[in-house]
Structure 1
């Protein structure tokens, strides 16, 4: 009989005994299980863990350490401090005082526009103004394209129409009817204001203009000759491009030909004349680079590494517009630091006010925004695609309608474009007293031709053309949406692919108006939540709650089903009506809504657009609404029309008679030029102490994180 074996013997015989030396199978450290009952994390919960916040603090600390070392080194060599102990302590504790960032001569402020670029140093009182245009070697000039079709475009007239009636038929029946209706309305307004109106003023103007002929002035008798840009005789020696004023002074029939390109149109990228994103990118970079060299004297781009830049962007911007220009400033031009500032907020810095409604009438866009406590109210932002250029084109059309003697004027020609701008700036007015028959004299200086002197008479065209801001249907909007989204795609969210460009409630109201939808007027006591409810609003809310308590309530409904699930009513037994399955895709809905918005041109009368912005900016607070009514600031080149502010104030009082005493449209303070007030505000902001200011984007940070930094660096909601 076999005896009983021990456990060790059995393991040894069966090969289950452990024979190793108790060493671990791997050298990797083993992490114990987390106690699920009590654990927490601090990941991305402190600002020190973000590079966007940590880098400026580390940079300030490094500057303080370096300043302390320099001071100790100077004392070691026997230098005597010039300041007292308290001054030394203050200078050491203030990083901004020790930093080269505080030097305003190293600060560059750039404000680009559709027609002009304003640029200058922080030490400059006023900026340098450069046309935002580049002329490139091309097959033909812009005035030769389209078989030489002029601007404004003339319609073909039947041969049966007499030559004396041609100007009345050039721009179509719709324009003629609107023009005549505006003339009748002006006469009615003038009679209501007890002003004398002669019935035959139009006939006097037309008959005078028909008889005019030009007078030629010899070159040696013309003291204001134009210095045209010289083109080398050899095509190989001719430069590839010109920018700024030189581009506008190139003869149209030069050899080789040059064509003008305006990279920014209507406040966005010009996708109508460009077919390549790289070409658009390169043109903007060259315009900025040449402006820095010619206007600011920065000969080498490498020197910009020691400069800071405050760049002004629109209030209602497009993300691709901002990111593309930021990339140009940091990677192409090489600025050391860049800060983005919104136009309306910058205007309040320049005007020295904290709360205002900023109305900026530019060359091709008009922006309206309410600024309160140093922030732009997001829902009050409005961007209208009309401006001073539309007034210029309509002014020329009205003058031609009244048989303007220089009937060959073509705004595609460079010298005619400059002439039209000068005529508008000199004669445009919204003052009723300026509506009379007056003589206009102007000179036409074309390359290779003798100077011609013309005389013409005008009556109400200068007044009615500016009135187009309040009746935008008189403007020509046919080409403003051509090519939109063909070159620069829409910005989308990186996670779900939905459009993420900023929108506002006031802009949506403008879209509804432009598309013809019936949108209810926003009430100051209704749709929008008030920041501080009034007594009457509180009583109304309590009465509604009491009525709701007195009314028998039905059973409480369940929670809503998640998006994308079928309708639960279909599964209820006894439901005879069959309903189809409805699936909602929120991303697709947002994309379709954005595509529909892109098909609508945001245009609205200026006075109604201001009221929309004010209603959304006040958020139902009557006190804040009255504050905004009393601080409407009119800026921009289009606002330089005489008596425009007075006329706008009267229009607003007609639409809001209950706020007649509070409504006040004011020009920029201290007699500032309204065109440069935004640039001046950027200069004021850039010269503030950089200590504690986290809005500067350094080149090292941008090279590491790219445009993702904007989420933490912008003073507004990105």
Structure 2
């Protein structure tokens, strides 16, 4: 397709890995520095907004939440929202419990991987019941957010630390990597966009010290997921131009920017965030759409499992409440401090933690920890323990562009006007090859065919004048799958190449980024072993198992900011200039500019 060829050309030319030798004497350090200082990079996530100038060494992390004051304070009851739990309809039981039966499989794996017995939870509970808290003389060191000025809204930490009895409602504009569209208050598309605009402007003014009136002198790089809703991206770009008044905007995908951020040309990018896990295979700045998959599980689920296991083990802090905001933040801190997947770990282990609440003295609790510090991170590899209902809605694949009246020459037009005979012949060759390579691969799964290039459907759709929006030509899992299987699934659906060279390159660089999993010690070795055990091998592919390499801290960088750094690198590339859209151009030409200039297949 012409669209794919042009987009691929732009992506290849904008790759920092491919252009290191092409800069030469034309590189102007002063000009590049000036561009970086006048460019703001935004990476909105489910839990945090990462923002900063492209010249900054690290982004600023702001909790991606906004608190709106009630229109009529005192007449509306504050809505209590849990930071740990999902919607009740997603669980197998009404008590929102994890599946303790699923822990048996994790325990068996720990015995073989750690080469020692698993510490019994009954012993841990007995030790923790004997623990006695110590009341400290000092206070907690912080107070509830001051709302005496009746601010109409608060963002970030100020929103998180509002007293739950105050007349504010918290709203997260992004959930599971997508705009938080729902039927409740602040759930319409326009309301979510308003929340985003208000939150981003306030964050830029507060943390970057850039007045709103000066944003017209700045450019913006917006990082979006690989699997996105076209209408949502359109609304966000529209908001950046019309509400925030940026002079120009460049939109790119997080997975591609992750490879830019660590200087890797080709990789299978595994982005484990707070509420979602996104996997895509990147080749020279191109994200292969057929390999993209998103699982609706992430670091939040690890925290919930960890909390449930600690409660079973008689957590000394008896007042712990999953639905309490401060307790949820406490559990997040304990998870990041103590969880790991290290085979040489020793259990049981004596530790301690503090309970700090505004207006109260601090309390020190001793605690005995066992293998729950490893069982919780492994829940992403064994999702049965999460206690969720089996559902296809927890797995998302690439969808076709549904079309927009602002862009008549879109994918639908190209789809209906291309050469049917050529596409049908190409599809049959690919289908025959894939059927040989993927025999018995996920054969127990109830699979669907995602069909971009089926010649029979092309004829049927062209004559009927309609285009189906089925998910693409790959094996589609019927429900939630373990993380390592999802990685193998993604790599096995890369485009055909001579002697599986592209698959070999993907297996040799599995890049784990995001803040949900990569920071746990030992996760790279465990993931390597699980992927090695699940790679579909044949006599001609036995070498693949020896090629596997998992990278969790590229160049000793924080894996949670790799994508943001890639966005800052991209903003300064000479070859990326053609990908920018100016405010004036957007006002006159609109959406079609994203299709024509986006450095990925729109």
TM-score normalised according to structure 2 size:
0.77
**What's 2:156 paired with?**
244
Change (3 A) 1:497 1:560: closer
**Matched residue of 2:344: which SS?**
helix
Change (3 A) 1:699 1:624: same
Check the 8 A contact 1:141/1:260 in 2, yes or no.
no
1:33-55 CA distances to partner (integer Å, 9 max, x unpaired)? xxxxxxxxxxxxxxxxxxxx9xx
**What's 1:327 paired with?**
238
CA RMSD of aligned residues (A): 4.2
Change (3 A) 1:646 1:312: same
Deviation at 1:212, TM superposition (A): 3.4
Check the 8 A contact 2:65/2:159 in 1, yes or no.
yes
Deviation at 1:514, TM superposition (A): 13
Q: Verify: 1:186 aligned to 2:105, yes or no.
A: no
**What's 1:469 paired with?**
380
**Matched residue of 2:511: which SS?**
strand
**What's 1:122 paired with?**
54
Q: Output the CA distance in 1 between the equivalents of 2:316 and 2:215.
A: 51
**What's 2:38 paired with?**
106
Check the 8 A contact 2:136/2:364 in 1, yes or no.
yes
**Matched residue of 2:316: which SS?**
coil
Alignment map for 1:384-395 (pairs within 5 Å):
384-395=295-306
Q: Verify: 1:230 aligned to 2:146, yes or no.
A: yes
Check the 8 A contact 1:514/1:600 in 2, yes or no.
no
Match of 1:678 among 548, 552, 563: 563
**What's 1:215 paired with?**
134
Alignment map for 1:48-447 (pairs within 5 Å):
103-138=35-70, 139-143=76-80, 151=85, 175-190=99-114, 193=115, 195=116, 197=117, 201-218=120-137, 221-222=138-139, 225-232=141-148, 237-254=149-166, 257-272=167-182, 274-299=186-211, 301-434=212-345, 436-447=347-358
Deviation at 1:153, TM superposition (A): 9.7
Check the 8 A contact 2:390/2:479 in 1, yes or no.
no
Match of 1:624 among 494, 502, 505: 502
Q: Verify: 1:711 aligned to 2:595, yes or no.
A: yes
Deviation at 1:215, TM superposition (A): 2.9
Deviation at 1:122, TM superposition (A): 1.6
Check the 8 A contact 1:379/1:616 in 2, yes or no.
yes
1:151-177 CA distances to partner (integer Å, 9 max, x unpaired)? 58999xxxxxxxxxxxx99655x7122
Q: Verify: 1:517 aligned to 2:446, yes or no.
A: yes
Match of 1:610 among 480, 483, 487: 487
Of Structure 1 and Structure 2, the greater strand share is in 2
Change (3 A) 1:203 1:105: same
Q: Output the CA distance in 1 between the equivalents of 2:94 and 2:229.
A: 40
**What's 1:643 paired with?**
522
Deviation at 1:367, TM superposition (A): 1.3
Change (3 A) 1:443 1:397: same
Q: Output the CA distance in 2 between the equivalents of 1:630 and 1:338.
A: 34
Deviation at 1:563, TM superposition (A): 3.9
Q: Output the CA distance in 2 between the equivalents of 1:483 and 1:603.
A: 6
Check the 8 A contact 2:281/2:494 in 1, yes or no.
yes
Q: Output the CA distance in 1 between the equivalents of 2:595 and 2:95.
A: 52
| Larger-Rg structure | 1
Deviation at 1:497, TM superposition (A): 12
Check the 8 A contact 2:381/2:483 in 1, yes or no.
yes
Change (3 A) 1:286 1:479: farther
Q: Output the CA distance in 2 between the equivalents of 1:456 and 1:152.
A: 27
Deviation at 1:680, TM superposition (A): 0.6
Q: Output the CA distance in 2 between the equivalents of 1:417 and 1:453.
A: 17
Deviation at 1:687, TM superposition (A): 1.2
Q: Verify: 1:661 aligned to 2:546, yes or no.
A: yes
**What's 1:49 paired with?**
none
1:679-718 CA distances to partner (integer Å, 9 max, x unpaired)? 111111111226x731101000111122221111111111
Q: Output the CA distance in 1 between the equivalents of 2:444 and 2:304.
A: 24
Q: Output the CA distance in 2 between the equivalents of 1:688 and 1:458.
A: 49
1:181-219 CA distances to partner (integer Å, 9 max, x unpaired)? 4334433544xx3x3x27x7322201122333433223x
Unaligned runs of 5+ in 1: 1-52, 54-89, 156-167, 485-489, 530-558, 566-583
Check the 8 A contact 1:251/1:447 in 2, yes or no.
no
Change (3 A) 1:353 1:601: same
Change (3 A) 1:564 1:442: closer
Check the 8 A contact 2:69/2:153 in 1, yes or no.
yes
Which structure has more relative contact order (CA 8 Å, sep 6+)? It is 2
Q: Output the CA distance in 2 between the equivalents of 1:285 and 1:439.
A: 46
Check the 8 A contact 2:84/2:300 in 1, yes or no.
no
Change (3 A) 1:264 1:481: farther
**What's 1:85 paired with?**
none
Q: Output the CA distance in 2 between the equivalents of 1:226 and 1:349.
A: 39
Moved more, 402-411 or 700-709: 402-411
**Matched residue of 1:425: which SS?**
helix
1:540-588 CA distances to partner (integer Å, 9 max, x unpaired)? xxxxxxxxxxxxxxxxxxx9996499xxxxxxxxxxxxxxxxxx9674x
Change (3 A) 1:205 1:154: farther
Q: Output the CA distance in 2 between the equivalents of 1:308 and 1:175.
A: 48
Q: Output the CA distance in 2 between the equivalents of 1:322 and 1:641.
A: 32
**What's 2:398 paired with?**
none
Q: Output the CA distance in 1 between the equivalents of 2:358 and 2:39.
A: 39
Change (3 A) 1:430 1:519: farther
Unaligned runs of 5+ in 2: 1-9, 11-23, 71-75, 396-400, 416-430
Deviation at 1:491, TM superposition (A): 4.5
Q: Output the CA distance in 2 between the equivalents of 1:628 and 1:482.
A: 27
Q: Output the CA distance in 1 between the equivalents of 2:36 and 2:501.
A: 39
Q: Output the CA distance in 1 between the equivalents of 2:585 and 2:444.
A: 43
Q: Output the CA distance in 2 between the equivalents of 1:150 and 1:385.
A: 14
